[in-house]
Amino acid sequence: MPLLTKKRENILGRVEVEDMIENAHCLRDKAMISILYILGCRITEALNIKKDDIILQIDDMVSFRIRALKRRDASGVEYSHKITVVKDTPFMENILAYIDTISYEDKLFDISRVHAWRIIDKLNKNAWCHLFRHTRLTKLAEKGASPFQLQTWAGWKSIKNADSYVQKSDKLILDLANKVD
């Protein structure tokens, strides 16, 4: 199904993600859905995460190194940013269980973007890979994240990107209305 025919104004609810994970064929697919939902990274960023890009910290936090594939600094060094989440974040158990099953040097997911798209489409006909990014960034905005925090989380060069990734939501409008004197 072509990407442009899918409905774009929605974000994924937690129940929809739970259903996708529950119906996933294997632990790899559960972990992939979990990473996309928790981190809101692009599909190519998710598919290029290696086991050593995940750092389990002492204080019950988990950090993920996310590489921006086509972005390098002035000296040619590949750009990356870090996303840190609480270890007991919903669905994190799928990721932690999966990383124990692969060898140290491997990418977490040895599949193509097309294969990932097909997995997601099979699990939810109304979902697509980039919807996870829209969902995570919208939910962060609804919880009060500033555009600068969203820029850091998403690894954007420019804060202008917040406009195109964060969906307009009734909750954001209502919160703004409640702040008016």
Averaged pLDDT, 47-51: 94
H helix runs in 24-128, sequence order: 27-39, 43-47, 92-99, 113-123
Strand, coil or helix: 101: coil
145 within some domain: yes
Compare 100 and 180 and report the one with higher pLDDT.
100
CA nearest 139: which of 160, 164, 165, 176? 165
The model's confidence at residue 1, banded by pLDDT at 50, 70 and 90, is very low
Give the CATH number, domain containing residue 55: 1.10.443.10
Averaged pLDDT, 101-112: 86
159 within some domain: yes
Averaged pLDDT, 70-78: 67
The model's confidence at residue 165, banded by pLDDT at 50, 70 and 90, is low
39 within some domain: yes
3 within some domain: no
How far apart, in Å, are the Cα atoms of 144 and each of 60, 87, 110, 132, 172?
Answer: 23, 21, 36, 19, 9
DSSP strand E in the chain: where?
Answer: 54-56, 61-72, 78-86
**Burial of 67 from C-beta contacts in 10 A (0-12 / 13-18 / 19+):** middle
Full domain range(s) for residue 101: 12-179
Number of independent structural domains in the chain: 1
Question: Is the CB of residue 33 less than 8 Å from the CB of residue 20?
Answer: yes
Q: What is the pTM of this model?
A: 0.86
Give me 31's structure tokens: 């972990």
2 within some domain: no
1 within some domain: no
